[in-house]
């Protein structure tokens, strides 16, 4: 009898070539459906989600090709590395811009699958992470291929997969990802090697310097969101949805590229969201000080938890944010030791509800009618539950009960020892 069976665990997934056949078949069918939707062969209910690519992204593409960043466009709210994703369709000149973008998004999706299959093969590894990606991602509908978030997620997944054995490679990828869309910097939450932090800092600094020298306006995004309101799909937005039924005279308008609440008390709601984000950061810092037990799954578990916490407390919870969460959850589930199965399933359930609130019944969300509000309460409730469960499980799996916080030098030595064992 094997050690795994004695311990009461199922054996690791076989490494033979026939093992992933069913998984690849499901991936092929679901991705074909996604492509048929974004290419307009089949119609998906609700507003067309591909307009961001064919109008906004293509407009940015024309500006970027002229040698400057679209800093005067209030919808450009991204770090300079985003220019690489926007310019990438130029690598396929035989296709129109939108078609080339969809193909590249499809290839990024495929890359994530390959990385997850690799991460899920071997002792104490499982293919359930690949299954979550294959089955969970298409729940979000055509939005998956109509935003560049799947490309950023591919970089984040590569960083986490590399992080177990190659912390410097992970650090470089995290630095690069942060220049693409900021949030991959949160992957450092569980990084215990100084090499990972140093490589991320150097990578981000070098790339930032290169972008600053290459074109003006590279860092206009740092101030572009100061005047944003509260987006209708956010957790804080639920307060204002309810307020609309009690006489509040605010409005929902297209503002800074998304549908936001504008009017009295919106600033206070947005400030409350920022306070919650600060509290989430404080909890993560406390966890880092108290954590003592680090294993191969900790890097991914901590990254998933950190991004979950910052997503649910954000002023904006756009549908494409779920792409990040599904990708990070999938990496967690590649490790037998991961404690993140329950929050991962909650995120998958939230994805299924998300496609209903956008794009299928987005008009009901904007109108704050009972259907729209019910969808948001369920979706955001699932995300909050996932964040709380993930945080509790991360704490319990890494912080010994009753253990005092170590001194900074002792904490560093303990983490280095655990990570290399």
Question: What per-residue confidence (pLDDT) applies to 323?
Answer: 98
146, 58 contact by CB (below 8 A): no
Distance CA 213, CA 40 (A): 39
Task: Provide φ and ψ at 335, rounded to 5°.
Answer: -100, 125
CA neighbor of 180 nearest in space, from 204, 161, 199, 200:
204
Residue 7: predicted pLDDT: 41
Residues 237-264 have pLDDT tens digits of 999 999 999 989 899 998 877 899 999 9
- Is residue 289 a contact partner of residue 192, using CB atoms and an 8 Å limit? no
Residue 164's pLDDT is what?
A: 87
- Per-residue pLDDT at 116: 97
Residues 6+ apart with CB under 8 A from 232: 241, 252, 258, 259, 260, 261, 365, 366
Give ∠ CA 347-349-351 in degrees, rounded to 5.
Answer: 70
User: 125 has which bridge partners?
Assistant: 335
Give ∠ CA 133-200-196 in degrees, rounded to 5: 80
Is residue 164 within 8 Å of 371, Cβ to Cβ?
A: no
| Neighbouring residues of 47: CB distance < 8 A, sequence distance ≥ 6 | 359, 362
261 phi/psi in degrees, rounded to 5: -80, 135
**pLDDT of 203-235, one tens digit each?**
999 999 999 898 888 887 776 666 677 999 999
Report the pLDDT value the prediction gives residue 65, as an integer from 0 to 100.
Answer: 94
Regions of the chain where pLDDT drops below 70: 1-19, 223-227, 402-421
Per-residue buried b or exposed e for 60-87, using 16+ beta carbons within 10 Å of the residue's own CB: bbebbeeeebbbebebbbbbbbbbbbbe
Cα separation of the two ends of the chain: 26
Q: Give 392's Cβ-side CA count (13 Å radius).
A: 9
The confidence score (pLDDT) of residue 405 equals: 53
Residue 346 CB contacts under 8 Å (≥ 6 apart), including other chains: 382, 383, 385, 386, 389
What confidence score (pLDDT) does residue 135 get?
97
Note the pTM of the prediction, 2 decimals: 0.91
Rg (CA), the chain: 21
């Amino acid at each position: 009898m094997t050690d795994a069976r004695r311990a009461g665990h199922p054996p690791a997934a076989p490494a033979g070539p026939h093992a992933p056949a069913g998984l690849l078949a499901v991936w092929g069918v679901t991705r074909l459906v996604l492509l048929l939707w974004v290419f307009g062969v089949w119609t998906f209910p609700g507003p067309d989600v591909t307009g961001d690519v064919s109008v906004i992204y293509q407009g940015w593409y024309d500006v970027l090709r002229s040698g400057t960043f679209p800093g005067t466009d209030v919808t450009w709210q991204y770090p300079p590395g985003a220019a690489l994703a926007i310019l990438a369709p130029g690598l396929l000149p035989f296709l129109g811009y939108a078609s080339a973008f969809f193909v590249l998004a499809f290839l990024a999706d495929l890359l994530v699958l390959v990385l997850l299959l690799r991460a899920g093969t071997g002792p104490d590894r499982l293919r359930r992470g690949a299954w979550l990606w294959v089955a969970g991602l298409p729940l979000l509908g055509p939005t998956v291929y109509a935003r560049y978030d799947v490309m950023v997620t591919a970089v984040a997944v590569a960083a986490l997969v590399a992080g177990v054995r190659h912390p410097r490679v992970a650090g470089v990828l995290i630095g690069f990802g942060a220049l693409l869309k900021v949030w991959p910097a949160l992957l450092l939450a569980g990084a215990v090697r100084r090499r990972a932090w140093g490589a991320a800092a150097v990578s981000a600094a070098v790339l930032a310097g290169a972008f600053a020298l290459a074109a003006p306006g590279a860092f206009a995004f740092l101030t572009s969101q100061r005047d944003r309101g509260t987006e209708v799909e956010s957790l804080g937005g639920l307060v204002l949805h309810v307020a609309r039924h009690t006489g509040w005279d605010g409005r929902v308008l297209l503002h800074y590229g998304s549908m936001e609440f504008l009017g009295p008390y919106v600033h206070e709601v947005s400030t409350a969201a920022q306070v919650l984000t600060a509290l989430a950061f404080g909890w993560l810092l406390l966890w880092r000080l108290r954590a003592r037990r680090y294993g191969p799954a900790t890097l991914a578990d901590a990254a998933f938890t950190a991004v979950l916490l910052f997503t649910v407390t954000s002023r904006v919870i756009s549908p494409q944010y779920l792409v990040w969460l599904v990708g990070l959850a999938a990496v967690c589930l590649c490790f037998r030791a991961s404690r993140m199965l329950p929050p991962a399933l909650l995120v998958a359930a939230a994805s299924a509800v998300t496609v209903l609130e956008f794009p299928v019944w987005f008009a009901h969300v904007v109108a704050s009618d009972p259907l729209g509000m019910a969808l948001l309460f369920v979706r955001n409730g699932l995300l909050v539950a996932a964040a709380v469960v993930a945080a509790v499980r991360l704490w319990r799996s890494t912080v010994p009960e009753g253990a005092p916080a170590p001194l900074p030098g002792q904490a560093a030595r303990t983490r280095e020892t655990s990570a290399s064992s």
